[in-house]
């Protein structure tokens, strides 16, 4: 039997659902869609997991996405495909250091990006995603709040510039988006003058400044679908091209240039942790029940309040 068919049978057996991020392999994305699961950005992955009636949620993505699913659905079993699939933003914001940072600035509302641990979320007043950060910060700014923002300095900078809010930024970064190069992107734009440039806001400011569209992964996919241009230069993880080709099969996509530390790879924006998600480990977790997400109940309850606030605010 094909591995895809074995996974489909196990999903059915266990009343499980596969929820995948756009950055995982095309094979996993196809499987999620064929089995009535979901492929989306981190905000919609969280919402879907909470609203579905499966007993088990299989998260094809990274650890924080599995934790968010578990926090929102404590009664469901949540499994991730590889326990080592983390995120540089999550790894770079340890709860001990983050608590100290918050304690030093008690006058600020604590807003954290979803790409963080359950403990960090539990310390936050609000959790946001790239698809909701502008809206939440605008709301807080209009209510006269000063903000402590963590962990992504690039997304924080982008939001601060757009909204004009008073924001103190933790200095974390996504190692994938951080590598996009503005100068090389400018040269590429000259070669493709009719192309629209799509940029995820985890990218450096100089890259964001060259964009026609800045937004979450879903916003970038929608731009491809809805805009008139036939060619798109895309500055985000190249896993997203699977969905972009699907929604606009006749359009042309070009990867924005990167420079990976210690390598000469010029077009290689792919998250090493997202790449750990495979069909083989999907079948394995379904068979064994391994990689279950377990979260302390007090942490989970506190984190749920700040995530739920976001889901209600963006409903």
Binding mask of the shown chain, residues 142 to 161, with x at each position contacting ligand SF4 by CB under 6 A: --------------------
258 contacts which partner out of ligand SF4, ligand 13P, none, CB within 5 to 8 A by kind? none
216 contacts which partner out of ligand SF4, ligand 13P, none, CB within 5 to 8 A by kind? ligand 13P
217 contacts which partner out of ligand SF4, ligand 13P, none, CB within 5 to 8 A by kind? ligand 13P
Of 226-265, binders to ligand SF4 (CB under 6 A) are: 237
Q: How far apart are CA 188 and CA 256, in angstroms?
A: 8
| Residue placing its CB nearer to ligand 13P in the complex, 115 or 300 | 115
129 contacts which partner out of ligand SF4, ligand 13P, none, CB within 5 to 8 A by kind? ligand 13P
| Residue placing its CB nearer to ligand SF4 in the complex, 7 or 89 | 89
| Residue placing its CB nearer to ligand SF4 in the complex, 11 or 114 | 114
| Residue placing its CB nearer to ligand SF4 in the complex, 180 or 232 | 180
Using CB under 6 A as the binding criterion, the count of chain residues that bind ligand SF4 stands at 13
Binding mask of the shown chain, residues 92 to 131, with x at each position contacting ligand SF4 by CB under 6 A: -----------------------x----------------
Of 117-146, binders to ligand 13P (CB under 6 A) are: 129-131
| Residue placing its CB nearer to ligand SF4 in the complex, 11 or 269 | 269
Q: How far apart are CA 24 and CA 240, in angstroms?
A: 8
Q: How far apart are CA 190 and CA 193, in angstroms?
A: 5
Shortest Å distance, C-beta 156 to ligand 13P: 14
Of residues 16, 85, 148, 174, which one binds ligand 13P by CB under 6 A? 174
The answer to whether residue 274 forms part of the interface with ligand SF4 (CB under 6 A) is: yes
Among 29-37, 51-59, 82-90, 156-164, the segment contacting ligand SF4 (CB under 6 A): 82-90
Integer angstrom CA distances of residue 266 from 146, 181, 233, 239, 261: 39, 10, 14, 16, 11
What is the contact surface with ligand SF4 in residues (CB under 6 A)? 62, 87-89, 115, 174-176, 202, 237, 271, 273-274
């Amino acid at each position: 039997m094909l591995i895809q068919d074995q996974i489909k049978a196990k999903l059915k057996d266990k009343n499980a659902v596969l929820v995948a991020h756009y950055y995982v392999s095309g094979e996993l994305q196809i499987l999620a869609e064929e089995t009535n699961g979901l492929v989306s950005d981190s905000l919609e992955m969280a919402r879907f997991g909470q609203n579905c009636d499966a007993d088990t949620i299989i998260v094809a993505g990274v650890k924080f996405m599995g934790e968010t699913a578990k926090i929102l659905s404590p009664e469901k079993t949540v499994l991730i495909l590889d326990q080592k699939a983390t995120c540089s933003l999550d790894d770079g914001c340890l709860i001990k250091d983050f608590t100290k940072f918050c304690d030093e600035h008690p006058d600020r509302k604590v807003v954290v990006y979803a790409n963080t641990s359950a403990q960090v979320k539990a310390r936050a007043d609000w959790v946001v995603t790239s698809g909701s950060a502008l809206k939440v910060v605008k709301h807080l700014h209009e209510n006269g709040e000063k903000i402590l923002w963590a962990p992504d300095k690039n997304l924080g900078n982008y939001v601060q510039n757009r909204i004009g809010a008073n924001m103190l930024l933790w200095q974390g970064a996504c190692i994938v988006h951080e590598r996009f190069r503005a100068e090389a992107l400018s040269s590429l734009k000259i070669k493709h003058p009719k192309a629209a440039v799509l940029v995820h806001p985890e990218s450096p400011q100089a890259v964001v400044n060259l964009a026609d569209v800045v937004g979450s992964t879903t916003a970038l996919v929608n731009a491809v679908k809805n805009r008139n241009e036939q060619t798109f230069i895309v500055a985000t993880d190249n896993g997203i091209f699977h969905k972009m080709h699907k929604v606009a099969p006749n359009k042309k996509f070009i990867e924005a240039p990167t420079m990976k530390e210690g390598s000469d790879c010029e077009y290689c924006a792919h998250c090493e942790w997202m790449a750990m998600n495979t069909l083989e480990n999907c079948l394995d977790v379904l068979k064994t029940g391994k990689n279950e997400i377990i979260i302390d109940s007090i942490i989970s309850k506190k984190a749920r309040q700040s995530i739920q606030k976001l889901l209600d605010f963006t409903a």
